[in-house]
Amino acid sequence: MHPNPPILTALLIMATAFLVAPGCNAERRRSDAELGLTPPQAAGRRLYENYCDRCHEPYSTGDKQGPSLKGIFKRSYLSESGLPANDERVGEIIKIGRSKMRGFGDVLSDQQVQDLLAYLHTL
């Protein structure tokens, strides 16, 4: 018995519409080499995936629970707090947290925070 062609056609149309849905601005995940990441930036990327990605979008302007971090260092000030967008302030937020974000100073070494900052500069 063959599947119902109208149902297959409808599913194909829905799948195509989903894949090209307007407003979807996420990018395909590229490799460290494609992004031209240095070893510290690549290490920071892995840390980002383990600790940050669940709440912060790296490659799109959409928000998850926290704000997108795309272009975080391309602005003068952080969008949520108005603090200067520099390594000192962002590193402090990573270590001690802010608002709804918990701090990661108890699980990340100073070197890991530096690697994470290096990666954030690439976004």
Give a yes or no: residue 71 inside a domain: yes
The closest alpha carbon to 86, from 57, 112, 120, belongs to: 120
Q: For the residues 32-55, what does the mean pLDDT come to?
A: 92
Alpha-carbon dihedral angle through residues 34, 31, 75, 79, given to the nearest 10 degrees = 160
Q: How confident is the model at residue 46 (pLDDT cuts 50, 70, 90)?
A: very high
- pLDDT tens per residue, range 52-99: 988 886 665 555 678 888 889 998 998 778 889 999 999 999 999 988
Whole-Å CA distances, 13 to 25, 55, 78? 20, 31, 41
Give a yes or no: residue 85 inside a domain: yes
Domain count along the chain:
1
pLDDT at 5: 57
Give a yes or no: residue 100 inside a domain: yes
- pLDDT tens per residue, range 11-35: 444 444 444 444 455 556 788 888 8
Which domain, by its residues, includes 58? 37-120
- Report residue 38: phi and psi, to 5°: -75, 165
Is residue 9 over pLDDT 80?
no
Give a yes or no: residue 48 inside a domain: yes
End-to-end CA distance of the chain: give it in Å, rounded.
51
Query: Which CATH number belongs to the domain containing residue 116 in this structure?
Result: 1.10.760.10
Give a yes or no: residue 78 inside a domain: yes
Decide: helix, strand or coil at residue 97: strand
Give the Cα separation of 86 and 91 in Å (integer): 8
